[in-house]
Amino acid sequence: MKKRNLDVGVAKQIYDLHSLSHADLRTHYQTLYGQPPMPLINKKMLIQRIAYRLQEKVFGGLSQKCLKQIADKIDVVAACVPIVMPGARLVKIYKGVSHEVTVREAGLYSYNGIDYTSLSSVAKAITGQQRNGREFFDVRC
């Protein structure tokens, strides 16, 4: 297989992604993919997906044959990615007290007037201990 040098223009575009805001990355993603990204996708994942797409446009993507060979060699287990839509309310009764969290846009969760970036951080605020937020709020696939 022939080794390719990374196109300088693509490398600069990828480097520049890190200076963009989350909102600008979402817009850039929509331009490249023709659809908006998932509502709760974080900045790091947006940068990775945009960088992949930029390189794919210049160098081409993986062929179906190559993808099949990769899939045949590994045991792929679908990851559980629960989708909780913005506006949803999650209610947890903990030690006899009802706690309500509102899911907001851009991966934020509002609890007691404070915005948190993950359900785990909300669970920690409630319990005082590090907890898996999806398990704590019983969010399933």
- Asked, for residue 107, whether it belongs to a domain, the answer is yes
Tens of pLDDT, residue by residue over 49-89, are 999 999 888 888 888 888 787 777 765 544 555 567 888 89
Domain membership of residue 50 as a residue range: 8-73
Q: Are residues 94 and 131 in the same domain?
A: yes
**Per-residue model confidence (pLDDT) at position 98:** 94
Question: What's the chain's average pLDDT?
Answer: 85
- Asked, for residue 39, whether it belongs to a domain, the answer is yes
| Number of compact structural domains in the chain | 2
- Asked, for residue 79, whether it belongs to a domain, the answer is no
Strand 89-94 relative to strand 109-111, pairing? unpaired
Residues with Cβ < 8 Å from 102, sequence gap 6 or more? 87, 88, 89, 90, 109, 110, 111
DSSP string, 92-141: EEETTEEEEEEE-GGG-EEETTEEESSHHHHHHHHHSS---HHHHTT---
Tens of pLDDT, residue by residue over 124-133, are 999 999 999 9
The residue among 47, 73, 99 that closes a domain is 73
Higher pLDDT: 66 or 113? It is: 113
The residue among 44, 73, 102 that closes a domain is 73
